[in-house]
Amino acid sequence: MKSSRESAVKRVIRKPQAVAGLESKLLRVVRGKGPISRVNLARELELVPSTAGIYVERLLKDRFLIETTAAARTHGRPPILLQLNPEGGRFIGVDFDARQIMAVAVDFAQQPLVQVRRTIPARSGTERVLTLIEEVIQEVAGSQRKDVLGIGLGVPGPIDADRGLSLRYDFIRDWHNVAVGPRMAAKFRVPVFVENNLRSMALGELWCGRGQGLRHLVCLGIRSGIGAGIIVDGKLLAGAHNLAGEIGRWSYPHADALNGGVRTIEDTASLTAILSAAASRLNRRQGRETGELPSVTELLTAVEEGDRAIVELMEGAARVHGWIAHQLALLFDPERIVLAGPLVESATYLTALKQTVGRLPGGIDGEKIVCSTLGPFAGAIGAAALAFHHWVPGR
């Protein structure tokens, strides 16, 4: 039997665009609906079964699909179903902000194989961060990279997806018009797809997390910055200039423990802002004199231990985030809002956020606000799914 690596080498043969595009669509349907029968697959693709069967046979031969038998029934032959072949190849997803890089390698069935987290040293500039991203991709890819079919990059801030550019990010020095996509494509010689990291996180939730089976979804991410990934009618909302969800510059007009007037929500209640506000007290708790930001773990521990000042700080941030969730719910009317980021580990934080949503006018159901279950690698998993979504066999 041929190894998956040998098969991957043979699949570099280019196919006509229409054929490759339909095969890619077929694989996406199997991912979303599978295991699925040939008849139902043809129906989803709006093709006659014989035509769909031609493409299915080709993908079975190329080992992107496999056949499986449905659970036994009381009578009749159990149907043969199609599903993605885990050995069809690998995709790599990378997600980063100013604090850390998260990377994951997934098999062709989108199941994680390797996960790597790397801390970005304080005050790192653009070149240092790009080098770290390359090192992390190499680590999750391993020494044998021939079965890596594509790389997805979830980058912070506004992007130019067509050119693979990250346009700007205030939290990394000199990060302006960075050609991160072309650089990684030249380095690893596979297709590279670039998306805003919160939007890639929303795709991860839609395909692998709390958004499965939904058509309307908002993923609200609270990390070094604040952003939202928005799914409308099953499709990612990018906007006319790829700026949809760049909500960090919204003004938050309410005075509370975190601010003394009108400031942006990012200045007020991003993770960076919260840690900065808590720094002096948390550093005293740890016996440090350093002016560097404390860790998120130290923040959450102080809240859990009932440090009154830190609890009040966290509750103030949660009220800001509750207000944001309320505005997003009124604007997009999603079926669910998924909260992502390390703060969701705090029960104190979640209680204050949902209480805020419940007090604001508009009748937003707090039950539709849920926490991501994909963990700290949610963005990387979403970026890998993004690579699968855009990858075209044989192109």
DSSP string, 118-172: EEPPTT-BHHHHHHHHHHHHHHHH-S--TTEEEEEEEESS-EETTTTEEEE-TTS
Beta bridge partners of residue 264, listed in sequence order: 251
Residues 130/181, Cβ–Cβ less than 8 Å: no
Task: Report pLDDT for 144.
Answer: 81
Is residue 355 predicted with pLDDT exceeding 70?
yes
Q: 342 near 300, Cβ under 8 Å? A: yes
222 and 148 belong to one structural domain? no
115 bridge partner residues: 104
If asked whether residues 77 and 172 sit together in one domain, one would say no
CA 274 – CA 99 distance, rounded (Å): 14
Cα–Cα distances (Å) from 242 to 195, 199, 235, 236, in that order, read 9, 10, 14, 11
pLDDT digits (tens, 9 = 90+) for 114-171: 999 999 998 899 999 999 999 999 999 998 888 999 999 999 989 999 999 999 998 8
395 located within any domain: no
Name the nearest CA neighbour of 172 among 98, 94, 248, 249: 98
CA–CA distance, 375 with 84 (Å, rounded to integer): 24
Please state, in angstroms and rounded to a whole number, the distance separating the CA atoms of residues 28 and 6: 24
Q: Which stretch, 72-76, 267-271, 335-339, has highest mean pLDDT?
A: 335-339
Q: What percent of the chain has pLDDT over 70?
A: 92
Query: Do 116 and 64 share a structural domain?
Result: no
The mean-pLDDT minimum among 42-46, 249-253, 290-294 falls in 290-294
Are both 340 and 385 inside the same structural domain?
A: no
pLDDT of residue 73: 57
pLDDT band at residue 8 using 50, 70 and 90 as cut-offs? very low
Confidence band, pLDDT 50/70/90 cuts, at residue 4: very low
pLDDT tens, position by position, 298-350: 999 999 999 999 999 999 999 999 999 999 999 999 999 999 999 999 999 99
For position 17, what pLDDT does the model report?
80
pLDDT at 224: 86
- State the pairing for strand pair 90-96/148-155: parallel
186 and 242 fall within a common domain? no
185 plus 236 within the same structural domain: no
Give the pLDDT score at 74. 56
The total number of structural domains in the chain stands at 3
CB-based contact 112:377 (threshold 8 Å): yes
Element (H, E) at 115: strand 112-119
**Does any domain span residue 174?**
yes
Whether residue 74 sits in one domain with residue 29? yes
Q: Using the predicted structure, report yes or no on whether residue 289 has a pLDDT greater than 80.
A: no
Residue 3 has pLDDT above 60, yes or no: no
- pLDDT value at 207 more than 50: yes
CATH number, domain of 62, equals 1.10.10.10
pLDDT, residue 145, reads: 85
Full domain range(s) for residue 114: 89-204+378-390
User: Does 286 lie in the same domain as 326?
Assistant: yes
pLDDT given for residue 44 in this prediction: 94
DSSP character at residue 67? E
Region for residue 360 given its phi and psi (left: phi exceeds 0; alpha: psi -120 to 50; beta: otherwise): beta
Dist CA 26 CA 148 (whole Å): 20
Task: Note whether residue 303 is domain-resident.
Answer: yes
Determine the Cα–Cα distance for residues 331 and 48; give it in Å rounded to an integer: 40
pTM: predicted TM-score of the whole model, two decimal places? 0.83
Residue 209 falls inside a structural domain: no
* pLDDT reading at 265 higher than 50: yes
Indicate if the pLDDT at residue 374 is higher than 50. yes
- Would you say the C-alpha torsion 201, 203, 204, 210 has a positive or negative sign? positive
| Cβ–Cβ under 8 Å, residues 133 and 216 | no
Confidence band, pLDDT 50/70/90 cuts, at residue 14: low
Q: Is the pLDDT of residue 1 over 60?
A: no
Q: Which of 165, 155, 150, 114 is nearest to 133 (CA)?
A: 155
Q: Are 337 and 370 in contact (CB under 8 A)?
A: yes
Average pLDDT score over the chain: 89
Helix axis angle for 308-332 and 271-285, nearest 10°, is 170
Q: Residues 188, 308: one domain?
A: no
pLDDT mean over 28-34: 88
H or E segment to which residue 375 belongs: none
Q: Does the pLDDT at position 260 exceed 70?
A: no
Q: Is-contact 126 174, C-beta < 8 A? A: yes
Cα distances from 61 to residues 1, 11, 54, 66, 196, in angstroms, run: 12, 11, 11, 9, 35
CA–CA separation, 19 vs 266, rounded Å? 45
Considering only CA atoms, which of 204, 2, 188 is closest in space to residue 106?
204
What mean pLDDT is predicted for residues 339-366?
Answer: 91
In terms of DSSP H, where are the helices of the chain? Answer: 4-10, 17-33, 38-45, 49-61, 126-141, 180-188, 197-208, 265-269, 271-285, 296-304, 308-332, 347-359, 378-390
pLDDT tens readout for residues 220-258: 999 988 999 999 999 999 999 888 999 998 987 764 544
pLDDT tens digits, residue range 176-197?
999 999 999 999 999 999 999 9
